[in-house]
């Protein structure tokens, strides 16, 4: 595969493992074992069984009729919102918890932004009876309260991250600090295709089920497994990578990644990484990063906690730089409007993250008859407060 990681852990200019020595043994252990473990037949069997019976996969590929009429193209929604716990995040946590068990780990830590990854991690920890600590920015704890309650009910300890912008980046810092201080018994379940190699590759592999199913479902529904466009929102980029994975090498399929413009790309309150960022190192990999000329990370902003991150995964940086993917952005308001539209046209309340991907449909021009797949990465239950306030409902 042309866009896959090389043996040194790089995607073109991006990737690597920029970690302090304290994390080296853990990350190296993972690097040496992850493919062996994942490729093992027993692992595959257990993973797919859990995806089917516990997560509820395959998730439907739904031809959204009223959307299609509105936009003049066949708009398919890949319904990751119907997964257990309400988002794509669980695909990855099911994979990583099985892997952590194989590595003999007893304690699980994770960062979370929207709380979806935190919930998905707390869920699999309850399922497998492992201790679970979730780091979450103080700002996010406030704006995603239902998910905090769910994590607590699932038995996880939720630790507030109070540094920096008190959002996803800072929660990730705290999780890395925890891992440094607990190097032997702990596995860090990173929630997106970010972090030091092999995380971006490992998370992409677990999320690739999204495009694997999409191909089969398209073939059944349209007679061809090849769509014209696939769209997904990008925080760190895991649902997008899952959606792109099996289409990456087919250059006829256009990949559209939607970042959060916040209050506008030039407003100073934005999370549009490829537009505002430069090459740099954060959280263990070399990628594209919002930063000052001095190399200090700039605090991002998005109404959507899951997209409120100043970087993107290294593989996305590579798709962007090579031009294989088209990276665009959607503002807070555009996403909320799209969320309401989806609710009223299709009866589906999307997560605000996913609503960013939906919003980009408005900006596309179709000849008619194109097949377009949008990754509906999660459901909007966690965002009701934000929707209600914004629309004065």
Partner 1 sequence: MRLIFKQIKAPLGVGVMNRIKQLFEEKKNILSIYYTAGYPNTGDTIRIAEALEKSGADMLEIGFPYSDPVADGPVIQASSKQSLDQGMTLKLLFEQLKDLRKSVTIPVLLMGYVNPVLQFGVENFCKACAEVGVDGCIVPDLPMVEYEEFYKGCFEEHNLSNVFLITPQTAEERIHKIDGLTNGFIYLLSSSATTGKNLEVGDTTETYFSRIQNMKLKNPAMIGFGISDKQTFDKACSYANGAIIGTAFVKAIADGNIEENVDDFMKQFKP
Ligand X SMILES: Cc1ncc(COP(=O)(O)O)c(C=O)c1O
| Residues with catalytic function | 89, 111, 377
**Residue 241 φ/ψ, nearest 5 degrees:** -65, -40
Q: Interface with partner 1 includes 19 (CB under 8 A)?
A: yes
Q: Is the peptide bond before 58 cis (omega within 30 degrees of 0)?
A: yes
Q: How far is CA 119 from CA 71, 86, 107, 169, 313, in A?
A: 34, 9, 16, 18, 21
Of 37, 50, 77, 87, the one binding ligand X (CB under 6 A) is 87
Binding segment toward ligand X, per CB under 6 A, in 45-53, 67-75, 109-117, 326-334: 109-117
Q: Does 218 bind ligand X (CB under 6 A)?
A: no
Q: Is 61 left (phi over 0), alpha (psi -120 to 50) or beta?
A: beta
Beta strands at 229-233 and 186-188: parallel, antiparallel or unpaired:
unpaired
Instruction: Please identify which residue in 36, 65, 106, 183 interacts with partner 1, judged by CB under 8 A.
Output: 183
388 contacts 340 by C-beta, under 8 angstroms: no
283 binds, among partner 1, ligand X, none (CB under 5 to 8 A by kind): partner 1
Contact between 349 and ligand X (CB under 6 A)? no
* Among ligand X, partner 1, none, residue 237 binds (CB under 5-8 Å by kind): ligand X
| 235 part of the interface to ligand X, by CB under 6 A | yes
- In the set 56, 146, 155, 164, which binds partner 1 (CB under 8 A)? 164
233 counts as binding ligand X under rule CB under 6 A:
yes
Smallest separation, CB 343 to ligand X (Å)? 15
- Chain centre distance of CA 116: 10
The DSSP output letter for 21 is G
Q: Does 270 bind partner 1 (CB under 8 A)?
A: no
Query: Which one-letter DSSP state was computed for residue 46?
Result: H
β partners of residue 110: 134
10 interface partner picked from partner 1, ligand X, none, CB below 5 to 8 A per type = partner 1
> Is 159 among the residues that bind partner 1 (CB under 8 A)?
no
Min CB(172)–partner 1 separation in Å: 8
d(CA 336, CA 340): 6
Q: Are 228 and 250 in contact (CB under 8 A)?
A: no
CB atoms within 10 A of CB 361: 22
Q: Where along the sequence are the contacts to partner 1 (CB under 8 A)?
A: 8, 10, 12-13, 16-22, 24-25, 163-164, 169, 173, 176-177, 180-181, 183-184, 278-284, 286, 289, 291, 293-297
């Amino acid at each position: 595969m042309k866009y896959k990681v090389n043996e040194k852990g790089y995607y073109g200019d991006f990737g690597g493992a920029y970690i302090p020595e304290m994390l080296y043994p853990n990350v190296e252990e993972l690097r040496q074992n992850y493919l062996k473990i994942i490729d093992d037949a027993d692992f595959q069997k257990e993973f797919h069984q859990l995806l089917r019976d516990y997560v509820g996969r395959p998730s439907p590929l739904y031809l959204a009729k009223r959307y299609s009429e509105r936009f003049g193209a066949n708009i398919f929604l890949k319904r990751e919102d119907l997964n257990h716990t309400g988002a794509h995040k669980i695909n990855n946590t099911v994979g990583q918890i099985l892997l952590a068990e194989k590595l003999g780990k007893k304690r699980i830590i994770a960062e979370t932004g929207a709380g979806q990854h935190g919930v998905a991690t707390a869920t699999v920890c309850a399922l497998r009876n492992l201790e679970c600590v979730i780091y979450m920015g103080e700002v996010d704890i406030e704006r995603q309260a239902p998910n905090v309650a769910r994590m607590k009910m699932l038995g996880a300890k939720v630790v507030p991250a109070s540094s920096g912008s008190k959002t996803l980046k800072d929660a990730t810092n705290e999780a890395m600090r925890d891992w440094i201080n607990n190097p032997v018994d702990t596995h860090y379940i990173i929630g997106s295709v970010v972090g030091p190699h092999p995380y971006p590759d490992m998370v992409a592999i677990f999320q690739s089920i999204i495009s694997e199913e999409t191909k089969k479902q398209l073939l059944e529904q349209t007679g061809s497994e090849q769509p014209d466009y696939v769209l997904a929102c990008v925080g760190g980029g895991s649902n997008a990578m899952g959606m792109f994975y099996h289409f990456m090498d087919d250059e006829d399929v256009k990949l559209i990644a939607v970042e959060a413009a916040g209050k506008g790309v030039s407003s100073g309150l934005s999370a549009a990484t490829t537009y505002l960022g430069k090459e740099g190192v954060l959280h263990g990999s070399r990628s594209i990063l919002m930063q000052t000329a001095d190399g200090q990370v700039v605090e991002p902003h998005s109404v959507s906690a899951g997209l409120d991150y100043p970087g993107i995964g290294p593989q996305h940086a590579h798709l962007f730089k090579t031009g294989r993917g088209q990276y665009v952005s959607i503002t807070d308001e555009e996403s909320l409007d799209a969320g309401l539209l989806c609710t009223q046209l299709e009866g589906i309340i999307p997560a605000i993250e996913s609503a960013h991907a939906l919003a980009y449909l408005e900006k596309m021009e179709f000849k008619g008859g194109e097949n377009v797949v949008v990754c509906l990465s999660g459901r909007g239950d966690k965002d009701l407060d934000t929707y209600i306030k914004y629309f004065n409902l």
